[in-house]
Chain A
Amino acid sequence: MIRGIYILGEQNNILYSKEYAKSDARATLIEFLVNLSQFLKSVDIEKTEYMNLSVSRLFYSKRGNFTFISLADKADEPSQIEEKTDQLIDIFMKDYANLALAGQPLDDFGDKVDEIAVTMVKVAILGFAGVGKTTTLHLLRGETLPLVHDPTIGVSIKKLPEEVQSANIVLWDLAGQARFSILWSKMIANAQVVILVTDSTLENVLRSKKLVALVKEEVPNAQVIGIANKQDLPTALTPERVGQILGVPTYELVAIDISYRDRLVQLIRRAILEGKTSDKS
C-alpha cells in the first residue's frame, strides 16, 4: 500500500504531505526527502523511478519545479505504484500547481490523493474466543461455514472478494483465546476499521469493554463497529443494549445467516467513508 505522498517545491520545502501509516522515523524520512529533492535537481530523470529504502520503496519523479515522492511497501507491484504516482502528478500539475506556486491552500487535493492512493483498507475483527469472529469472516467472504469449530491461531488474514470504495479490504481475524491477547495490540496497528464482535451475552459484552479501551488506545483514529452476534439465541441482549454497554455504535448479526452479508459490507463501507470525513476534520 502507499504509505505516504510528498510533494516538494523549488526550495525543497514540503508543499504537501499525506501519510497513511504511522512512522517512528518521520523526521529522518523528511530530512532524507529534502536531500533527495535537492539531489534530483542535479540529474535528469524522465519518468518515475524508485529506490529501496529499508522495508519500503520510494518512488520519485520531477515535473517543473516540483518533486513528487510516494512511499510504498516493497510487497507492492512497482508498476502499479508508478502508475498511481503518475496519475497524482498529472492531477496536481493540471489543477493545483499554480495554487502551490502562489502559496495558496490546495483545497480538495487531499480527496484526489485519497481516491488514488487508498488502495487497501485494513479491517481487524476483534473479540473474545467463540463469539463468531471467524464465522463473521466467512460470512463477509461468502464462504460455506466449516462444520467443525477450529479455533484461530494467532491471526488469519483474508481479502474481501470485492472492492469497497475502490479499495481492497484486508480482513484480519484475530484469535480470541486469552493466550493470544498479547498479539492484539500489535495486530490491530494501522487498522482503519475494527469490527468488535460480541456474542450478545451480558458477561461477554461486559468483558468486551476492555477491548474497546484497547482499540481506543492503540488505534484512536480507527472506526469501531460493534457487533451483537448470535441474535438468533433467546438470551441475546439487544444490539441497542450491547451498544450502550460498549459505548460504540453496535449492530445486530447472525453470522451463520448469509442474508446479513450485504448489511455488514455496507457497515464497512460507511465506516471507511466516516473515517475519511473525520480525517479531513
Chain B
Amino acid sequence: MPSAVFLIHLDENHGFILKKRHPISLKVTEADLNNIYVPHAEKAGLHVIELDDTQILSYSKNKMPEWVVCFEMEADDDISFESSRLEGTARLLLELAETSIDDIDLEEIMKSGSSLSEESAEQKFAGVFLTPSAPLILEHLQSAEISGFVSSAALSMWLKKQVGGEGTNVAEAIRPLITSGLVKMEMLTKTKQFVFLVKDVFGHRASPNDSLKLAEMTRPDIYEEYKEQVENFFGADSSGRGYNPTIMEEEEMQTMIEDREKVAVNVANIIHYNVITALRKGPMTLDEIIIQTAFPKSIVQKALWALKSNSIVTSFEEESIWALLTDPVFESFMPKYVLEGISKKWNTKEADSAEVQMYLDLLINTWRTTS
C-alpha cells in the first residue's frame, strides 16, 4: 500500500505543479519532480524510480503527456505485485484530472481501491466517431466505389480534397480506425501501401432488454414504469428517441448521426462507460453502482446526471433507483457487402490479383481469429 500519492502537472508557464497530494504534509522538491518526469517525457506508461531511499511508482499516458500520477511506496511493498492495481488507480486519477480535478479525493480513492480497466473494444469502436476524419474515411471505405480497399496515396489525396487542407495527415486521421482494429494498413510492395477495411462497426442505442428482464424479477415496484419509459423512448411517435436501427427513417439520418456521436462520447468516456456497464446488470441504487464501479460517490452521481441528460439512463423514486433507458452499443461485423465490389474491381482490372489476394487473406484471418 503506497504511503503517499500525488499528481504532477507540468504547466507551460508555472512549471511543475503538485495538483493533488495525500497526505497534505507531503513535500516534493523540484529535483524530485524533474527526476520523476524525465522518464515519462521519453516514454509514457509505468516507471519506477529511486529517490534517496524511497521508491516512486509513476504513471502517465500519451494522451495527457503533461500529467504524471505518483505513488510513494512503502519499503516492504512488492512493486511487481502492486503495479497493475495501481496502474488502474492512476488511470482513474488521470481521467478525473482531465474532467473534474476538484472532485478528486485521493484519500477516498486510495481507501476504496478504485481503478479503471483498459479501454474495451466497444470503447475503441466508439472512439472512431469522436473525430470528424475517421468516420469520413470509414464511410469512404464502405462505399461501392472503393469496396473496402484503397491505396494510402489515393486515400490521402481524397481526404485532402474532402477537408480542403494541405496539412492533412492521413496517418493521424486513420489512427482511431487502426487502433480499434476496423482497418489495417499494409505494404503490398516496397512502395505501395494499402488501407483495408476488415471490420465494420454498428453504433446505436439498443433497447435495454436484459435490464428490463432483471427489473421484472428483482424490482417489480418500478418495472411497469420502467417498461413504459423504454417503450415511450423507442415508440414510433416519440420525438425524443435516439438512433434506433429498427425504426430508421431516411429523413432522420442526420439526427441519427448526431445522436450516434453523442452516444459515442459517453461510451468513450471511461467513467460513464463503467457506470453503463454496471447498469447493464439491471436497475440499481446509487450505493449499488458505487460498489459495482468502486468510484467515489460524487463522480458516480455526476456521471449519472450526464447520462440522464443524454437519455442513456433514467431514474425512479426521486433518483433513488437508476436504470438504462437505452443501451449504447458499438459492435463490429464482417463487411460482407465488399465481396461483390472486390470481384468487380478484379474483373475490370481496377485491382490486381495481389491486392485482392491480400484483402481476402486479411478478411479471412481477422474473422477466423474472431470466431
Contacts and interface: CB of A to CB of B under 8 A. Distances in A.
Contacts of A122: 12-13
A35 B37 CA distance: 38
A190 B12 contact: yes
A182 B102 CA distance: 31
A75 B14 contact: yes
Interface residues of A, number: 24
B13 A153 contact: no
A75 B11 contact: yes
Interface in B193-237: none
Interface in B1-20: 9-17
Given A154-B37, A154-B38, A182-B42, A21 B10 contact: no
A55 B13 contact: no
B12 A183 contact: no
Nearest to A76: B14
User: Interface size for chain B: under 10, 10 to 19, 20 to 34, or 35 or more residues?
Assistant: 20 to 34
B26 interface: no
A155 B13 contact: no
Contacts of A156: 30
A153 B14 contact: no
A172 B98 CA distance: 26
B31 interface: yes
A186 B41 contact: yes
A1 interface: yes
B141 to A, nearest CB: 27
B65 interface: yes
A75 B66 CA distance: 16
Contact of B35 (A21, A52, A154, A186): A154
A61 to B, nearest CB: 22
Interface in A71-90: 73, 75
Given A54-B98, A55-B101, A190-B13, A153 B41 contact: no
A120 interface: yes
A170 B11 CA distance: 13
Contacts of A179: 38
A21 B13 CA distance: 9
A235 to B, nearest CB: 33
Interface in B83-108: 98-99, 101-102
A172 B34 CA distance: 13
A124 to B, nearest CB: 10
Nearest to B43: A182
Given A157-B30, A182-B41, A1 B35 contact: no
A263 B332 CA distance: 66
A153 B102 contact: no
24 contacts: A1-B13, A21-B12, A54-B99, A55-B9, A73-B13, A120-B13, A122-B13, A153-B31, A153-B34, A153-B38, A154-B34, A154-B37, A157-B15, A157-B30, A170-B13, A172-B15, A180-B38, A183-B37, A183-B41, A186-B10, A186-B65, A189-B12, A190-B12, A190-B13
Interface of B: 9-17, 30-31, 33-35, 37-38, 41-42, 65-66, 98-99, 101-102
Given A155-B15, A186-B41, 6 more contacts: A153-B34, A153-B35, A154-B37, A186-B10, A186-B66, A189-B12
Interface of A: 1, 21, 52, 54-55, 73, 75, 120, 122, 153-157, 170, 172, 175, 179-180, 182-183, 186, 189-190
